[in-house]
Structure 1
Amino acid sequence: MNLRARFLELQALLAEHESVWRPAPFHVRRPAWCERWPALATAVLGLDEASVEHLGADPEACAAWLRPQLPVVAHLAASCALPELPARALPAGDARLADGIPGRKLAQIEAFAAHAPPARGPLLEWCAGKGHLGRRLAQIECQPVASMEIDPVLCAEAERLARRARVAQEIVCGDAFVPEARTHVRGRTVCALHACGELHRHLVRNAARDGAHAYRIAPCCYHLGTDGAYRPLSRDARLALDAATLRLAVTETVTAPRHDRNRLARDQAWKLGFVALRDAVERAGDAAKREMEDDADAPQRPHNFRPVPSAWLAQDFEGFCRRLATREQLRLPLAVDWGHWEKAGEHRRDEVRRLELVRHAFRRALEHWLVLDLALGLEERGFDVTVGRFCARALTPRNLLVLAERRAPDSPTSGTH
């Protein structure tokens, strides 16, 4: 199956089942799919805690559990079966090159470099941070490397590390979005390891005229930089996505320490407890208002849950809710049973975690659709493109790599895998 055929198949499957993956259970108490597949809703809500933990941490086990009642899961898996890219042996890295790089990040850099073909000329590390990838590529490729980063503090650290490692690495401090930045792309192989959202899409939008020889892009954080609706990169893209929906594609993470997971679960429970309290207060107010106005059909106002400062979550549940109520201009009753609403939040959190198992069965398919949209965007702009995995999920779930080489003049458009 070539890239476009795979992309269109994924798009059709996602469009047909959007009632499953679009609604977020955090915001929708019972997503519409619960009525279409009532047996599945009953089964998932009835899972014990150990099963929820296991299925949440193991996407393949979760898919196997879902397949009998949701057959599309098998079709999604087949459409997302991209191969591992060929790897090459790399020269051993000097210990100085690894200075200050966390172990997981260092392993990602090694995998990225090993699964990308040799560069035939100068390289540009896009959105470089401290230039860790660029330093390693400078040693591997024996080519000049420029590393572009907007943060001057990170640029200064990148310069220090490059001097210490004695590699040919130029640090370019600049904004990747300004037109002047694109002059650094011309004539280079551009490498982007987990450049977020619009930062990696910006490369594709300008690829037809920027003059790069090649691109090596491992995308990440697809929701970042989206101003309203997602703007597709290829001509056949039809899914309408916003930042909230794009965030689904990156909800799969490598399992965090239990302490962090417990804290996140508690934070979500507190937010849901406040939502339950707020809704009860406003229902009571609406009922009184309807009684006065004799209007039983008065609609309730929709609500969005905006992010909260992390410092608020360092208080107790009552303090958290009072801060939020002030922000939301919600007038709380004089007497509130805080223990009741905290338990209500925990109950809702348990429901949300179970319902999300079904929604999460679509997140890898959505990520593949986004990566293929990027790949086809490069293909339509004059590049031969290959897409595959460059590392195991255990190292990073963002393990898809797009390799693009500028097509020779008059050569036919490829349908690479």
Structure 2
Amino acid sequence: MTLPPAASLHDRAESVDSRWQQLNDWLRQHRELWASAPFMEPVPDWTLSQPGLADWVSGLSEAQCRSLDDDPAGLAALAAEYLPSLGRYDELVRVGEWSNPQQADKATLPEVHAVDMPGRKRLQAGAFSAALQPLAHPVMDWCCGKGHLGRTLAARGQPVTGLEWNAELVQDGNRLAERFGDPVSLRCQDVMASDLTLPAEAHGVALHACGDLHRQLIRRGGAASLPRLSLSPCCYHLTDREVYQPLSRRAAEHRACLKLARNDLRLAVQETVTAPERVREQTRRVSQWRLGFDALQRQLRGEDSYLPVPSHPSRLANGTFEDFCRWAAQKKGLSLTATVNFEHWQAEGERRWLQVKQYELVRHLFRRPLELWLVLDYGLYLEEQGYRVRIGEFCDRSLTPRNLLIDAVRD
């Protein structure tokens, strides 16, 4: 089987260890910029230590904020004029680009076969499949759902076994495989179970398995000495641990290893480049309402501190700012007097929203570096288990921001 050079992150061969060390040091150096949450802290501490950077982002319009948020490399280049060390962003996050539109088209299931498969997921599965060619072992599809990825990979010549805990999805997936004659067999399995037995000599794959689920594949697949593991991680924050525990011995034993809480892990996946305009607009409106209520509650309580408000019922998104405030006040045990000027507080929320967008630009600059730091930790762990590892992008980020692929082949 022919693969790109082991541990090749981009055109200049560079070890996984070296890149992890560089990212670890860079993220520690700039922790003040990404550790604070402007949504909860109206004026982050870093605005005092970096006044030039703060003044620059404070002068950006909403349209400029949105444009730069979708162009992190361009944002880093501009921000580096005020903090030169941010200029290393592009160098530190660059990895191999394995996306090949022609090959992805060939590997994508035809629409007539992609029953119950959202269009974007169909294209993601095709790009993922193309990046893994050639396949040399039977495939084990981890957390397979209805087996859409498995059916995509099966068309490339290898039988697929899918593992999925939801019996209804397993039933639907097996029905689809039988209908189209795909060599795919799904079975009910809790992949977190201690008695899990993996198929021998299988190529373990996972497309966007969340948090502890993809970490379980890495651990169990490595322990079982599977010949190949290929995964695109997602939702790193979905874990039962409050503080991230590195998988690799190299990271765990490093005296200056970055310490990441669950909220830090959540930052790594806070991107909406694939969200429809309607969803973005609704998110904006509700965020403004939450910020308006936050300003109001600080006055009501006489305390200048953030007060977490739970997720709101979906019906409130179609209501008014006043409806939202009355619901939130009731949830937090606050009384709203008849003299509350809701128009004033709504306007304050809109003002705060733009301020948050401006300050969050700086924080969002660290989303991809944090994600890559985690992925490199996974890569280091797999190298310690005897695998040759390559890390790259299997598709463009416009198809999915979670486009990093770890491909590990056992020596």
**TM-score, normalization by structure 2:** 0.90
Alignment-mate amino acid for residue 280 of structure 1: Q
Where does residue 249 of structure 1 map in the other structure?
268
- 1:135-146 map, 5 Å: 135-140=151-156, 142-146=157-161
Q: In structure 2, do the counterparts of structure 1 residues 51 and 43 end up closer, same or farther at CA, with 3 Å as the change threshold?
A: same
1:128-172 CA distance string (max 9 Å, x none): 1111010011110x2221111122222222112111110111111
Cα deviation digits, residues 92-123 of structure 1 (max 9, x gap): 75554322322221111111111114232211
Q: 2:279 aligns with which of 245, 254, 260?
A: 260
Query: SS state of the match for residue 147, structure 1?
Result: strand
Q: Distance in 2 between matches of 1:360 and 1:86?
A: 25
- Hey, what does 2:191 align to over in structure 1? 176
> 1:82-101 maps to which residues of 2 (within 5 A)?
82-85=95-98, 89=103, 90=106, 93=109, 96-101=112-117
Cα 1:272–1:93, aligned 2, differ >3 Å: closer, same or farther?
closer
Larger deviation: 302-311 or 164-173? 302-311
Q: CA deviation at 1:327?
A: 1.3
Query: 1:120 matched to which residue of 2?
Result: 136
Task: Give the match for residue 9 of structure 2.
Answer: none
SS of corresponding position for 1:190:
strand
How far, CA to CA, are the matches of 2:308 and 2:243 in structure 1?
17
How far residue 206 of structure 1 moved from its aligned partner, in angstroms, is: 2.7
Q: Does 1:218 align with 2:218?
A: no
2:245 aligns with 231
Identify the residue that residue 218 of structure 2 maps to in structure 1. Answer: 204
Output aligned runs, 1:199-348, within 5 Å.
199-237=213-251, 238-283=257-302, 303-348=307-352
- The equivalent of 1:297 in structure 2 is none
Question: Counterpart of 1:179 in 2: which secondary structure?
Answer: coil
**Separation (CA, whole Å) in 2 of partners of 1:342 and 1:348:** 10
The amino acid of 1:65's aligned partner reads: L
- Aligned match for 2:408, one of 378, 395, 404: 404
Shift of 1:350: 0.8
**Matches of 1:81 and 1:41, distance apart in 2:** 27
| Residue aligned with 1:254, SS | coil
Tell me what 1:388 maps to: 392
Kindly indicate whether the alpha-carbon contact (under 8 Å) linking 2:273 and 2:398 is maintained by their aligned counterparts in 1.
yes
> Could you say which residue in structure 1 is the equivalent of 2:363?
359
1:253–1:396 contact (8 Å) kept in structure 2 = no
Q: Tell me by how many angstroms 1:127 deviates.
A: 0.8
Q: Residue type of the partner of 1:52?
A: C
Equivalents in 2 of 1:92, 1:364: separation in Å? 27
SS in 1 for 2:191: coil
1:270-299 C-alpha deviation (Å, 9 max, x unpaired): 11111111111011xx6xxxxxxxxxxxxx
Aligned partners of 1:228 and 1:243 also within 8 Å: yes
- How far apart, in 1, do the equivalents of 2:222 and 2:184 lie? 26
Q: Deviations over 1:61-109 (max 9, x none)?
A: 2222212112222212201111113869456755543223222211111
Residue of structure 1 equivalent to 2:146: 130
Distance in 2, Cα, partners of 1:314 & 1:324: 15
Structure 1 regions of 5+ residues with no counterpart?
A: 287-299, 408-417
Give the distance between the partners of 1:164 and 1:406, measured in 2 at CA: 35
Amino acid at match of 1:66: A
1:42-53 aligned within 5 A: 42-53=55-66
Determine the C-alpha separation between the residues in 1 that align with 2:117 and 2:404. Answer: 21
Alpha-carbon shift at residue 377 of structure 1 (Å): 1.3
State the Cα distance separating 1:358 from its structure 2 match: 0.8
Contact 1:186 1:213 in 2 (8 A): no
2:28 corresponds to: 15
TM-score by length of 1: 0.88
The answer to whether the 8 A contact 1:97-1:135 is kept is: no
Amino acid at match of 1:135: R
Determine whether 1:147 maps to 2:162: yes
Q: CA deviation at 1:255?
A: 4.6
CA distance in 1, matches of 2:114, 2:41: 46
**Structure 1, 89-98 or 47-56: larger mean CA deviation:** 89-98
Distance 2:320 2:171 in 1: 41
2:155 aligned counterpart, secondary structure? helix
1:36 and 2:49 matched:
yes
Cα deviation, residue 301, structure 1? 6.9
Describe the shift of the 1:48–1:301 C-alpha distance in structure 2 as closer, same or farther (beyond 3 A).
closer
Quick one: structure 1 residues 255 and 70, their matched pair in 2 at CA, closer, same or farther if it must change by over 3 Å?
A: farther
The separation in 2 between residues aligned to 1:280 and 1:169, in whole angstroms, is: 60
Q: Aligned in 2, Cα 1:54/1:256: closer, same or farther, shift over 3 Å?
A: same
Q: Secondary structure at the match of 2:402?
A: coil
Q: 1:159 aligns with which of 160, 168, 174?
A: 174
Q: Alignment partner of 1:355: what SS?
A: helix
Residue identity (%): 40
The match for 2:381 is 377
Cα displacement (A) at 1:401: 0.5
Question: Unaligned 5+ residue runs, structure 2?
Answer: 1-13, 252-256
Distance 1:208 1:92 in 2: 29
Structure 1 pair 211/186, CA: closer, same or farther in 2 (3 Å)? Answer: farther
In structure 2, the residue corresponding to 1:184 is in which secondary structure? coil
Distance 1:348 1:92 in 2: 44
- Cα displacement string for residues 303-351 of structure 1 (whole angstroms, at most 9, x for unaligned residues): 4344333333333211211111111112233421111111111111110
